[in-house]
Structure 1
Amino acid sequence: MKTVGERLVEGLAARGVEVVFGIPGVHTVELYRGLSGSPIRHVTARHEQGAAFMADGYARVSGKPGVAFVITGPGLTNALTAMGQAKADSIPMLVISGVNRRATLGKGWGCLHELPDQQAMVRALCPSFQISAPEELEPVLDAAFAALFADRPGPVHIEVPTDVMPMPAAELSGGADLRTDVISEGEIAAACQRLATAKRVVILAGGGTRHAAQGVQDLAERLDAPVVQTVNARGAMHGHDLVVPASPSLDAVRDLIAEADCVLALGTELGPTDYDMYVRGGLPDLSGMIRVDCSTEQLDRHAAAVKVRATVSAAIPALLAGLPTRPAGDGAARAKSARKAALEELARLDAAMPARLTMVEAIRSACPGAIIVGDSTQPIYAANLYYDHDRPSGWFNAATGFGALGFGPGAAIGAALAAPGARVICLVGDGGLQFSPGELRTAVDEHLPITFVVWNNAAFGEIAEAMAGAGTEVIGCSPSPLKMKGFAESCDLPFQSVPAEPEALFQSLKRAGSGPSLIEVRAIANLPS
């Protein structure tokens, strides 16, 4: 009879898992026994945080849960940062770890990788389940997969004690689809009634629209409504007359929202890193909005005239069925005016931002249809304020919400595995790269089509600017950068170094091959050698 660890892997495969990310250890040997002969592909990270970031990137692009295997103790604590990012961005991620033998738990005996209470630590962030006997395996798997999508998606943890992992376990019955989306007809009717009589609708599109791009466009066209995209919604409706790919933190976008007679918020938590980035208040009153969200908890956090509890993918067909067609009005003109004003405002905020934005646009021009995965770095900050990407689910980064530095390399690997054949660009700063440099070797091992574009200003540049702007001495913001050419060579990565000029970056991307490579963008003169 197979062990609990082997059956657990079978249960994952039965529930549609195709890839797991992890680092093996003595506490997870039985999981890796289960991977032998399994259809599930294993990708070896260089750090457990990287493994969980890979699971995050995989989930964002595929729409399926990302799965990571980690050891108890330090393996799980290393993964917690990435789990925090997934929590902030509503990304379904399943982290499976070992835990010490049941008889030792909470005793403080000093066992290998011991924590005082591993589950209590994780439960402060997300649901955590323990398989304490073989017969609990299938119920726990069902509960964990239900939790991944119940109410608001996010991370979920399963731990298996080391004395339970090798126990014999019976064959599982298979995985059922536990996702449900029951929509209230009354809520939809109330929303349709308000939308049908409104003349100047504005749609606020959040991360919940990530896999509903065509539906959002259809709804916008039916309502003649400009669509304001938060960071996690970018990529949909590229070049469309109704799209406003700009941050609601900008006055130009806030003016558009304030002038609306009806605001429809789709899958957005209305979080301050999207809606009040500069912490200055002044967001228009949204208490009269129609809000669609899959989370009851989120719906209860803000006043709204109509609340529809549903995923965006399920709500949009119901809304379209209840809305009459209408002639085109001034929606496109309102969107165009907002786009123009937002770009002008970008230049007023920081004279360097337009140039940084053109670098991101050069990537899009050189690599149409690519997935751009960002870290917290200056061109990403600029583009998060205003940038129109050309691939749905093809623009995401960790510079909003939880804001985990070092996200980019691992998440880019997950994205590449979720979208075989797609080109992936990881845009990361020299500081962020040093959080997770080892993951570039993973990209080499897996032969992934990722170009790592490193914005090298030999500093935590954005933080240095913030400290200077606050009138304080800039301290701790000049970590020495890697010697990029030597680093690339040590990773067996083809290397190019170019100045921070759009044409130079465009041409270097055109020259880059189909496999993994590294391009250094020299963002300052006289980089340390």
Structure 2
Amino acid sequence: MNFPETIAHFDEAGTRPPARPATDLTCGEALVALLEGYGVQYVFGIPGVHTVELYRGLGASTIRHVTPRHEQGAGFMADGYARVTGKPGVCFIITGPGMTNMATAMAQAYADSIPMLVISSVNARRQLGTGDGRLHELPSQQDVFSGFTAFSHTLLNAAELPQVLARAFAVFGSARPRPVHIEIPLDVIVAPAGGMNLTPPALPAKPTACPNALAAAADLLAGARRPLILAGGGASDAPVELRELAERLQAPVALTINAKGLLPAGHPLLIGSTQSLAPTRAMVREADVVLAVGTELGETDYDVMFDGGFAIEGLLIRIDIDGQQLMRNMRPDVAIAGDARHALGRLSTRLHECAAHAPQSDWGAPRVAAVRETLLAGYDRPTRSQMHLIDTIIDTLPDAIIAGDSTSPVYAGNFAYDARAPRSWFNSSTGYGTLGYGLPAAIGAKLAAPERPVVCLIGDGGLQFTLPELASAVEARVPAIVLLWNNFGYGEIRKYMTARGIVPVGVDIHTPDFMALARGFGCAACRADTPHALAAQLRHAVRRDSPTVIEIDEADWFARVPA
């Protein structure tokens, strides 16, 4: 991309002063120009005295700034944007408390392999590590964040900026995507950067799998009578290749929560996301060859009951872009390090070239249908009632993206809902498992896909973590729909305590008037207690250009909606 020889800025009145020569750029201004070159569309952040020089070049750029009400909100917005687009969400964050406020969002993104670029300030180079008690000082900010980033780098010289940014975007595009943190000392942000090359370099492609490993995997799959596929979020960009391979093998497919939609709802080989439930676990144990692609095989997708009951008894083939992950949780018989899309495509081609695969006659679609029937019969009344809620959303808004929090209907949907397309269902109950994620993540998702309805599915406890982000959505004119499931406290924890014989303490919290609060923030607000009422309110909401909060009383919904 070519950049102009001058960089223009707008003053507070919106008028354009004389353009500044590119030779006069500071490091902070060069950063903005480089981000434009990488195609960044949004920056999420709250300006502070330590970051204002990062904003010097932002006003005249093509990048839109979105201001959350808390830095954690900035991180969750960036996360939601990244999950929908596959591109990194970008944040500008002040040193010290801004970064510690961001920590939870970064840890959630790290746990779920979400690309996020966090640019922060830090005290001047001569002040680093001195312990003088300066504003926002941490003993070592880099050390704090290196544990949940792909890397954390202190930019000690403005000339390093293009190389460090290139490293970050190489991670996002060709490695396991995770947050990257770049901190820039206050004196470096304003350092001259006039001679800097502002054209991003050519970035590497994703690594391709070893042909020998692919051949070994193809041989095992070709001879399998009961093959089965476990697919995770690492395969999100390979729905065509996954479907082709599954149909060629007639292999049942179980998806992690972040992989929902890789096989569309209603596909005869789709088991769902029920790896923690007994019927699916029995089917996995029956498989003679299991192909696990882009999945950690981790607890929050395979053992949410925490009983250690998930097991693979057949041969295991693993595909992952992260070679270390191939060695975690379950030992593979064939390990393939590389891009999921390439590996699945090559496996399908090799199997096509082999003799026709002959699975066991009662395997594939017949076995999936039997398992799904058993699963459906086993869902309890609350789960069935909550599935009416999700079905109503999708029946009314078929193209909806649902960004969820840690709340009861989300847990039900994680088991029982099958998405129609990838990147359409995600929530914070996997991996790190934080509260308050749903609302800001939905804002980021709506910015990423303005043409699609975006529904935040969140509980009353979780919403109170990030409630002020309603103001952010109003200010940014983001018409996300907030579907508030109100059980008047931390209902899931209350049930968990009761089940373990613990007298519930700390879970029956004060519940505010959410309708009054929503209107006070400038949102439309209403209630719904039946599928018919909910559908009507959703239809109204998608016609608005500002957020809508729809409150559902759990007890009323359960009383009125048949299981």
Bin for the TM-score computed over the shorter chain: over 0.9
Q: Measure how far apart 1:326 and its partner are.
A: 4.3
Matched, 1:205 2:236: no
Which aligned pairs between 1:94-113 and structure 2 lie closer than 5 A? 94-113=117-136
Question: Following the alignment from structure 2 to structure 1, what is the Cα–Cα distance between the partners of residues 421 and 518?
Answer: 28
Structure 1 counterpart SS, 2:369: helix
Other-structure match for 1:288: 315
Read off the aligned partner of 1:80 and give its amino acid letter.
A
Other-structure match for 2:109: 86
Question: Following the alignment from structure 1 to structure 2, what is the Cα–Cα distance between the partners of residues 171 and 163?
Answer: 17
Preserved CA contact (<8 Å) 2:30 2:198:
no
Question: Following the alignment from structure 1 to structure 2, what is the Cα–Cα distance between the partners of residues 503 and 253?
Answer: 33
Other-structure match for 2:70: 47
Preserved CA contact (<8 Å) 2:72 2:101:
yes
Structure 2 counterpart SS, 1:434: helix
Query: Cα RMSD over matched residues?
Result: 1.6
Preserved CA contact (<8 Å) 1:287 1:305:
no
**1:512 aligns with one of 541, 551, 559:** 541
Which deviates more, 308-317 or 74-83? 308-317
Matched, 1:306 2:334: yes
Other-structure match for 1:154: 178
Structure 1 counterpart SS, 2:387: helix
Other-structure match for 2:5: none
> Could you report, residue by residue, the CA deviation over 1:78-132 in whole angstroms, capped at 9, with x for unpaired residues?
1110000011100011111000111111111111111111001111222101111
Question: Following the alignment from structure 1 to structure 2, what is the Cα–Cα distance between the partners of residues 513 and 218?
Answer: 35
Which aligned pairs between 1:131-142 and structure 2 lie closer than 5 A? 131-142=155-166
Question: Following the alignment from structure 1 to structure 2, what is the Cα–Cα distance between the partners of residues 45 and 69?
Answer: 11
Q: Measure how far apart 1:222 and its partner are.
A: 1.1
**TM-score normalised to the size of structure 2?**
0.90
Which aligned pairs between 1:206-355 and structure 2 lie closer than 5 A? 206-236=232-262, 237-285=264-312, 288-301=315-328, 302-324=330-352, 326=357, 330-347=363-380, 351-355=381-385
Question: Following the alignment from structure 2 to structure 1, what is the Cα–Cα distance between the partners of residues 507 and 332?
Answer: 43
Structure 2 counterpart SS, 1:121: helix
Structure 1 counterpart SS, 2:44: strand
Distance 1:17 1:453, change over 3 A: same
Other-structure match for 2:494: 464
Q: Which is greater in Rg? A: 2
Read off the aligned partner of 1:133 and give its amino acid letter.
N
Which deviates more, 292-301 or 179-188? 179-188
Preserved CA contact (<8 Å) 2:489 2:510:
yes
Question: Following the alignment from structure 1 to structure 2, what is the Cα–Cα distance between the partners of residues 303 and 326?
Answer: 26
Structure 2 counterpart SS, 1:33: coil
Question: Structure 1: which 5+ runs fail to align?
Answer: none
Other-structure match for 1:493: 523
Question: Following the alignment from structure 2 to structure 1, what is the Cα–Cα distance between the partners of residues 542 and 245?
Answer: 40
Question: Following the alignment from structure 2 to structure 1, what is the Cα–Cα distance between the partners of residues 516 and 260?
Answer: 35
Question: Following the alignment from structure 1 to structure 2, what is the Cα–Cα distance between the partners of residues 509 and 174?
Answer: 45
Which deviates more, 283-292 or 57-66? 283-292
Q: Measure how far apart 1:508 and its partner are.
A: 2.2
Q: Measure how far apart 1:287 and its partner are.
A: 6.7
Distance 1:85 1:97, change over 3 A: same
Read off the aligned partner of 1:134 and give its amino acid letter.
A
Distance 1:38 1:286, change over 3 A: farther
Question: Following the alignment from structure 1 to structure 2, what is the Cα–Cα distance between the partners of residues 510 and 213?
Answer: 30
Question: Following the alignment from structure 2 to structure 1, what is the Cα–Cα distance between the partners of residues 169 and 517?
Answer: 40
Structure 1 counterpart SS, 2:98: helix
**1:453 aligns with one of 478, 483, 499:** 483
**TM-score normalised to the size of structure 1?**
0.96
> Could you report, residue by residue, the CA deviation over 1:431-483 in whole angstroms, capped at 9, with x for unpaired residues?
11010011112222222231100001111000000000010110111121221
Matched, 1:124 2:125: no
Q: Measure how far apart 1:182 and its partner are.
A: 2.7
Which deviates more, 317-326 or 44-53? 317-326
Give me the identity figure in percent: 46
Distance 1:67 1:269, change over 3 A: same
Other-structure match for 2:32: 9
Structure 1 counterpart SS, 2:398: coil
Distance 1:416 1:122, change over 3 A: same
> Could you report, residue by residue, the CA deviation over 1:263-303 in whole angstroms, capped at 9, with x for unpaired residues?
11111100111111111122123572111111111001131
Question: Following the alignment from structure 1 to structure 2, what is the Cα–Cα distance between the partners of residues 245 and 285?
Answer: 17
Q: Measure how far apart 1:26 and its partner are.
A: 1.2
Which deviates more, 29-38 or 249-258? 29-38
Structure 2 counterpart SS, 1:389: coil
Matched, 1:26 2:53: no
Preserved CA contact (<8 Å) 2:288 2:315:
no
Question: Following the alignment from structure 1 to structure 2, what is the Cα–Cα distance between the partners of residues 220 and 418?
Answer: 30
Structure 1 counterpart SS, 2:488: coil
Other-structure match for 2:11: none
Question: Following the alignment from structure 1 to structure 2, what is the Cα–Cα distance between the partners of residues 213 and 439?
Answer: 33
Q: Measure how far apart 1:188 and its partner are.
A: 0.9
Question: Following the alignment from structure 1 to structure 2, what is the Cα–Cα distance between the partners of residues 129 and 362?
Answer: 46
Preserved CA contact (<8 Å) 1:56 1:86:
yes
Matched, 1:416 2:442: no
Other-structure match for 1:171: 196
Distance 1:298 1:8, change over 3 A: same
Question: Following the alignment from structure 2 to structure 1, what is the Cα–Cα distance between the partners of residues 234 and 81?
Answer: 16
Q: Measure how far apart 1:35 and its partner are.
A: 0.9
Read off the aligned partner of 1:521 and give its amino acid letter.
I
Question: Following the alignment from structure 1 to structure 2, what is the Cα–Cα distance between the partners of residues 504 and 286?
Answer: 48
Read off the aligned partner of 2:337 and give its amino acid letter.
R
Structure 1 counterpart SS, 2:57: helix
Q: Measure how far apart 1:344 and its partner are.
A: 2.3
Q: Measure how far apart 1:485 and its partner are.
A: 1.5
Matched, 1:373 2:410: no
Structure 1 segments, 4+ long, off by >4 Å, are 325-329
Question: Following the alignment from structure 1 to structure 2, what is the Cα–Cα distance between the partners of residues 135 and 510?
Answer: 52
Preserved CA contact (<8 Å) 1:68 1:94:
yes
Alignment length (residue pairs): 522
Question: Following the alignment from structure 1 to structure 2, what is the Cα–Cα distance between the partners of residues 196 and 413?
Answer: 45
> Could you report, residue by residue, the CA deviation over 1:307-327 in whole angstroms, capped at 9, with x for unpaired residues?
111121221211111112547
Preserved CA contact (<8 Å) 1:371 1:391:
no
